[in-house]
Structure 1
Amino acid sequence: MIQYLAQHRATGIIVAMVLLAGCTTFSKDGGFNAVSTAASERLGKDAVHVKTDADRNAAFRRTQELLSKPLGMDDAVQLALLNNRGLQASYGELGISEADLVQAGRLPNPGFTFSRTHWSDGFGISRTFSMGVLGVLTLPVATRIESRRFEQTKLETANAMLSVAADARKAYVNAVAAQQAASYAAQVRDSAEAGAELALRMREAGNFSKLDYAREQAFYAESVAQLARVRQRSVMAREKLTRTMGLWGSATRYELPERLPDLPEDRPQLNDLESFAMQNRLDIQAAKLRTQSVATSLGLTRATRFINALDVGYLDNFETDKGHEHGYEISVEIPLFDWGSAKVARAEAIYMQSANRLAQTAIDARSEVRESYSAYVTSYDVARHYRDEVVPVRKTISDEVLLRYNGMLASVFELLADSREQIAAVNGYIDALKDYWLAQTDLQQSLGGRLPPLAMSQTQDIPRGGATPAPATQPASPTNSEGQ
């Protein structure tokens, strides 16, 4: 009777294990929905995981559509999300992490041992069916740990996508600004060439001093060298943009606009940016999940510190003189030399390491927000100063000199000298406008890929003269969303 019950109990355990093994399966989206949602909500763009020929053809058609017109900043971001191979490679982490999750939710394979012995007047057969019970007992906890790690991987992958988008924005700004600077440098070179040729003719006619002639020639020579340097910087900036967008072949012949987008009339009022970053940044959310997973793993390590292996097996033996023998065996590792203290100490050290990394991530994030916001405010004020003060004053001077030249009260060289004095102002405004768009991108990235919703609506229509927000206070805990 006991033997009968033992057989049926073993059969029941086997059936239950088979049913449990089928509970954990792969998801339909492979975790990519978290990335696509982040791209849609934070960037207003489409993130695509290119896995099949159909995906590749769809991405190609979308790429050709975007390349059919001069690229905008948002177009460059979308192209990077479609074609950046490094980003596509990072999506592979989702598949790896989900595979670990599915593997953690599956029971360990059972073992089967068969042996046959013989002697002078008979033989014996031994059959053992065994299963690691400890792996079954810890299956729920192990699955919970890997589930958190999978969620962490989703956040980290989405954050990598946001980083590529930010790189594309900055590469676009640098490329357009460098192209604009190169175009202006070519105009300066042409003006300097005309001045040098006129100075040569006047020198040959004896109406120009050697010193003034040398000055015109020197300016022309410097403008030629400056144009070469600026053009090379433009090539480098364009190639970086090309790499970020993942383009090659004929697709590299895309067209950029002649100049950067205009400076907004006013910048939005931004408050409580540190709190917003703590709630919105994906790297902080991922670090929190990592610490929670490590904490759960530490509990599992403490629970299994004494027993590392526990196997249960069903025996079915046969000997010629005894007949069939049925039973079971239990195999337990004896903690005679290793009591698990080193394993627990290692797990505790990993937990403290993860907790400190989480705190440092939050501290760095708060600092990045303050730094990027300061750069954003300063760059906007400088660009607006160039737009509203420096450039208009320079234009007024240029108009007055031109009037005097038309009235024969100023020479052509005074006109050329005035154009040379405008070079610094124009280049300064190009650089200031570039710095503003770069600073805005850095601020968005430090806040988790987007500005606060109210600020995003204010960028469309905001009254002038908005108050500058006060600096955020020092928080009681770096990961808290509220300050002291």
Structure 2
Amino acid sequence: MRKATTSRRLLAPLAMSSVLLGGCATFSADGGFDMVSTLTRERTGHAVERPTQDESTGRSRTRQLLASPLSPDAAVELALLNNRNLQASFAELGIAEADLVQAGRMRNPGVSFSRLRGGEDVEIERGIMFDLIGLLTIPVRSGIEQRRFEQAKLQAASKAVGLAADTRRAYFNAVAAAQTVQYMAQVQESAEASAELARRMARVGNWSKLDQSREQAFYAEATAQVARARHNNVAAREQLARLLGLWGDDAASFTLPDRLPDLPKVLDEAANAEQQAMQQRLDVQMARRDAEATAGALGLSKATRFVNVLDAGYRNKSETGNPRKNGYEISLELPLFDWGSARTAKAEALYMQSVHRTADAAVRARSEVREAYSAYRTSHDLARHYRDEVVPLRKKISDELLLRYNGMLASVFELLTDAREQIVSVNAAIEAQRDFWIAETNLQAAINGSGGTSNLPRPADRQLAGTAQGHD
């Protein structure tokens, strides 16, 4: 009787602790999305919503945004709302939270029962065992999984911010491609008219066969360049449609502005850009959280180096003709062959790996910010140079040649040659303006997101450049 009382005294605190700790391990109401939405809104101006089976609200907002030509912000909002790859990545939040809840729960107890019979004698043993080490390490394991859950939130926000940056790049590519198609279609019409004029003048003997062949070659190459520009336009639109998560009629019917946005009058300054990146870049924050989680795992490995299996439980035994026996049982793994040194060494190596990765993330972040800001300023200077210098000069030259032609001081051939040279300048101006907005997106990504680079295709064909060079 005394042994039974002692066993109950030993097991009562164990059972109570397991109930209390298990009750604290529950799922959060928002699933971690409040933090993800806040981080995304701070960096993109748009929040993300938790995926649900009811898509009516998202569908209504999608139709509202598609009713008018898309702006860069509208495109980002559509992508965050509809991109399926982003929605799939949010499942990592649920996985990380499930691991957190599991870490806060004690392992289920083990129950044993045996019955032996010899003649008229029956012997019955019963037992219940609890994972004592698992119970004692619940706070440590929960802390590790909590940090990993926080890291999963940062990872989800990083994917959302990265999608926003990719969408903006694809948007500017698509608008520039459409603008180039419009301009090259006008070039093709002019080339067709000049080829027809050359044919007629050659027929009456006013032009040589060489001049006529040049105009026909220009028209042929202009036709080929229009076909290429149209394909680039389709490719850029489809890239944007994929990021927006559009399909069916929506993918074919969304509209874009006729031209790229104007250059800003005031540029962002580089002051404190590197410091902002250290505070706001999500990949740097993830590296720090990973180092903290690895440090916690290292502490757990050291704490359980010698003893990582310790079970305790209640046991009783019934035997025919004898009084019932009650007691307790403790199961302990003896560190005779494995002293835990390999496990600890692995944890230490993983910790040093995470420390170096954190330092590398910081170095890369600062370097990418400096590079992105240089590209931002340079592309703005180039775009402004084409807008304020090159294109106006080309227009002035064209106007002067037209006046000279009207005064019979310049030939048709000179007028057409100048038109071909103007094509290169206009296309270069469109590309320079597009490159600025992409560089601005890369700068914001380098400061707020996970870097300023992208794998998006960027059509950069200098339309008819070779043709113009062939007609000096």
Query: TM-score w.r.t. structure 2 length?
Result: 0.92
**Where does residue 455 of structure 1 map in the other structure?**
none
Aligned to 1:417: 417
Residues 42-83 of structure 1 show CA distances to partners (whole Å, capped at 9, x for unaligned) of: 211131222221xx1111111111111111111111111011
Say if 1:80 and 1:245, in contact at 8 Å, map to a contact too. Answer: yes
Q: Return structure 1 stretches of 4+ with deviation > 6 angstroms.
A: none
Q: CA deviation at 1:142?
A: 0.3
Equivalent residue for 2:270?
A: 270
The corresponding residue for 1:435 is 435
The answer to whether the Cα contact below 8 Å between 1:312 and 1:331 also exists between their aligned partners in 2 is yes
Is the contact made by 2:270 and 2:373 (CA closer than 8 Å) also made in structure 1? no
The range that moved more, 341-350 or 413-422, is 413-422
In angstroms, what is the RMSD of aligned CA positions? 1.5
Q: Deviation per CA, 1:336-355, whole angstroms, max 9, x where unpaired?
A: 11111111111111111111
* 1:350 aligned residue: 350
Q: Which amino acid aligns with 2:314?
A: Y
For 2:125 and 2:449, how far apart are their aligned partners in 1?
64
* 8 Å contact kept, 2:283–2:449: no
Number of residues paired by the alignment?
449
Alignment of structure 1 residues 124-203 onto 2, 5 Å: 124-203=123-202
What are the Cα deviations for residues 315-365 of structure 1, in whole angstroms up to 9, with x where unaligned? 111001222000001000011111111111111111111111111111111
Deviation for aligned residue 1:443: 0.7
Contact 1:195 1:413 in 2 (8 A): no
Residue equivalent to 2:378: 378
Deviations 1:391-450 (A, max 9, x none): 111111122222233444434443322221111110110110011011111111010149
Greater shift, 353-362 or 41-50, is seen at: 41-50
Q: State the 1:8 CA deviation.
A: 4.2
Q: Indicate conservation of the 8 Å contact 1:191/1:416, yes or no.
A: no
- Say if 2:284 and 2:358, in contact at 8 Å, map to a contact too: yes
> What's the counterpart of residue 392 of structure 1?
392
Residue by residue over 1:284-336, the C-alpha shift from the partner in whole angstroms, topping out at 9 and shown as x without a partner, is 11110110111111011011111120000101110012220000010000111
For 1:58, the equivalent position in structure 2 comes to 57
Q: Which residue in 1 is equivalent to 2:291?
A: 291
Unaligned runs of 5+ in 1: 452-484
Aligned residue in 1 for 2:114: 115
CA shift at 1:374, angstroms? Answer: 1.1
Q: Tell me, yes or no, if the aligned pair for 2:282 and 2:449 is still in contact at 8 Å.
A: no
Gaps of 5+ in 2: 452-472
TM-score, length basis structure 1: 0.90
CA distance in 2, matches of 1:220, 1:407: 27
Q: 1:43 is matched by which residue type in structure 2?
A: T
Which residue pairs with 1:320 in the alignment? Answer: 320
Secondary structure at the counterpart of residue 22 of structure 1: helix
- What secondary structure, in the 3-state scheme, does the structure 2 residue paired with 1:325 have? strand
SS of aligned partner of 1:323: strand
Mapped partners of 2:334, 2:16: distance in 1: 30
Query: Residues 13 and 308 from structure 1, CA distance in 2 versus in 1: closer, same or farther, beyond 3 angstroms?
Result: closer
Residue identity in the other structure for 1:270: A
Over residues 230-282 of structure 1, what are the superposed CA-to-partner deviations in whole Å (9 max), with x where a residue is unaligned?
11111111111111111100001211111110111231222121111011101
Q: Given residue 136 of structure 2, which amino acid in structure 1 is its aligned partner?
A: L
Question: CA offset at residue 12 of structure 1?
Answer: 4.1
Per the alignment, residue 42 of structure 2 pairs with 41
SS in 2 for 1:335: coil
Distance across 1 between alignment mates of 2:376 and 2:263: 12
Match of 2:455 in 1: none
Amino acid at match of 2:398: S
Q: Which moved more, 1:189-198 or 1:223-232?
A: 223-232
Distance between the aligned counterparts of 1:138 and 1:450, measured in 2?
35
Tell me by how many angstroms 1:167 deviates.
Answer: 0.5
Shift of 1:229: 1.1
Contact 2:175–2:258, Cα closer than 8 Å, also in 1: yes
Look up the equivalent residue of 2:8 and give its one-letter code: Q
CA distance in 2, matches of 1:38, 1:69: 28
Q: Alignment partner of 2:24: what SS? A: coil
Find the aligned partners of 1:28 and 1:217 in 2 and give their Cα distance: 70
CA distance in 2, matches of 1:27, 1:329: 37
CA contact (8 A) 2:3 2:326 kept: no
